């Protein structure tokens, strides 16, 4: 067995910090509603309907979190792709193999939690190969059209003029029974039943991705991240400081403008019988809102994390970001232990505003663990396995270790 010393590549601390912040947002999005990635029966929320804490938590999650951090994380994935392309060891074959391994990890993750995003990244990531040599202009146009969910806008426009019949009462009853069955399995089932119920859910997940347009939006942010990496927005961020400040103002004020338009529309037209034009308009405004707030978070955190007063936050976010895959998967493990029937079974039993507060000890615990791990080891445990399988050689895990080929 041949051994050689391979040092890890120099990392960009800012990107790790942004990745850690994105994982905080993802944790909030998932923990607020009990890490339930499936449909929630209608009666579960009824007991919280008149609770002010529930309403505040729901408004906060809906306005500031939902739909904004899977996009943030996707942007960073595209940025990482751009950095890989600069490496002399980068090949298309290695990238596909690396994606394939990520897809296998995602498949195992999906069997435990149907909200997995890694299996989506495997599929969408393959399209990055087609765009690797695209011009900046093509990347800008393609990313903008996808981020604004153009395929779904076209579909919804067609349905506006040629509406499909609504589900029958029997179909609605069947859907509700299906939702209740899944909920009961997660709440009361054992480990084997949890795995079994999540097998068909993998297909349901992709149906949701295409039906909602999230899979197109994800690709759009991949491409925007590729553009950012190519233009060195973060590797040489000082040269782009004014660019970041400009987009902070644009995205911030535009977000306020969207809210100023959407709130009156909701008040005057949101009640009563469903209005197809209203739903079409609000859906489009929501996608624009998510895009603007995602950009605001990216450029805003980039500026903040470079301030001297924020260096402590940068260090804390970056240790999570260096172990992003491990941290993402461990969040699911914590969620299952806390909320599922195989653990403490708190799903639906704890008010979402309390769940929102639980983000603090969980994320702090992840920071403490990541700091300890990285003080002793070169990579996070899942990152080490992923990297070792990618290069088909055991990578150094403990600091000072030699690398060994299979």
pTM: predicted TM-score of the whole model, two decimal places: 0.93
Percent of the chain with pLDDT over 70: 95
Res 139: pLDDT? 97
Q: How far apart are CA 384 and CA 257, in angstroms?
A: 45
Res 32: pLDDT? 96
DSSP 8-state secondary structure symbol assigned to residue 128: H
Res 269: pLDDT? 85
Res 15: pLDDT? 94
Strands across the sheet with 393-394, in order?
3-4, 403-405, 393-394
Who's near 85: CB < 8 A, 6+ residues apart? 132, 229
Q: What is the DSSP string of 42-107?
A: HHHHHTTTT-HHHHHHHHHIIIIITTTHHHHHHHHHHHHHHHHHHSTT--HHHHHHHHHHHHHHHH
pLDDT digits (tens, 9 = 90+) for 334-343: 999 999 999 9
**Pick from 328, 337, 331: nearest CA to 194:** 337
Query: Do 225 and 74 touch, CB atoms closer than 8 A?
Result: yes
**Pick from 69, 328, 325: nearest CA to 214:** 69
Q: Is 380 left (phi over 0), alpha (psi -120 to 50) or beta?
A: beta
For helices 69-86 and 118-126, the axis angle rounded to 10 degrees is 50
Which structure tokens are listed for 73?
């994380």
Res 299: pLDDT? 96
Which 3 state secondary structure label does DSSP give 406? coil
DSSP 8-state secondary structure symbol assigned to residue 238: G
Res 9: pLDDT? 44
Res 3: pLDDT? 41
Q: What angle do CA 279, 293, 255 make, to 5 degrees?
A: 70
- Where the chain has pLDDT below 70, the residues are 1-11, 400-406
Residue 284 C-alpha from the chain's centroid: 20
Q: Which long-range contacts (CB under 8 A, 24 or more apart) does 26-29 make?
A: 26/69, 26/70, 26/73, 26/328, 26/331, 27/331, 27/359, 27/362, 27/363, 28/61, 28/65, 28/69, 28/356, 28/359, 29/61, 29/65, 29/66, 29/69, 29/70
DSSP lists the bridge partners of residue 394 as: 404
């Amino acid at each position: 067995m041949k051994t050689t010393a391979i040092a890890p590549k120099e990392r960009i601390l800012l990107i790790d910090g942004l990745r850690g912040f994105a994982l905080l947002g993802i944790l909030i999005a998932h923990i607020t509603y009990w890490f339930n990635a499936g449909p929630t029966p209608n009666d579960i929320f009824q007991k919280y309907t008149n609770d002010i804490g529930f309403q505040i938590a729901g408004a906060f999650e809906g306005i500031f979190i939902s739909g904004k951090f899977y996009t943030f994380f996707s942007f960073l994935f595209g940025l990482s792709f751009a950095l890989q392309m600069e490496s002399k060891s980068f090949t298309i074959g290695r990238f596909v193999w690396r994606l394939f391994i990520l897809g296998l990890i995602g498949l195992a993750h999906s069997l435990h939690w149907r909200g997995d995003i890694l299996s989506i990244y495997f599929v969408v990531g393959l399209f990055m190969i087609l765009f690797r040599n695209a011009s900046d202009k093509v990347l800008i146009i393609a990313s903008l059209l996808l981020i604004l969910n153009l395929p779904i806008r076209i579909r919804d426009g067609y349905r506006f003029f040629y509406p499909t019949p609504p589900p029958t009462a029997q179909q609605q009853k069947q859907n509700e029974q299906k939702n209740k069955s899944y909920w009961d399995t997660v709440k009361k089932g054992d480990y084997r039943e949890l795995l079994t119920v999540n097998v068909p859910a993998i297909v349901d997940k992709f149906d949701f991705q295409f039906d909602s347009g999230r899979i197109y939006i994800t690709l759009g942010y991949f491409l925007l991240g590729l553009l950012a990496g190519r233009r060195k927005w973060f590797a040489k961020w000082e040269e782009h400081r004014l660019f970041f400040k400009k987009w902070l103002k644009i995205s911030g004020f535009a977000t306020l403008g969207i809210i100023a338009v959407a709130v009156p529309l909701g008040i005057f037209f949101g009640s009563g019988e469903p209005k197809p034009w209203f739903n079409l308009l609000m859906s489009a405004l929501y996608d624009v809102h998510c895009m603007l707030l995602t950009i605001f978070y990216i450029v805003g955190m980039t500026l903040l994390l470079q301030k001297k007063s924020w260096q402590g936050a940068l260090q804390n976010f970056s240790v999570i970001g260096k172990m992003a895959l491990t941290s993402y998967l461990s969040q699911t493990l914590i969620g299952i232990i806390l909320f599922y029937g195989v653990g403490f079974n708190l799903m639906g039993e704890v008010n979402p505003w309390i769940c929102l507060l639980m983000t603090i000890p969980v994320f702090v615990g992840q920071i403490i663990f990541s700091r300890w791990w990285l003080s002793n080891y070169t990579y996070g445990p899942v990152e080490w396995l992923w990297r070792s399988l990618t290069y088909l050689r055991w990578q150094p895990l403990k600091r000072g270790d030699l690398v060994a080929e299979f």
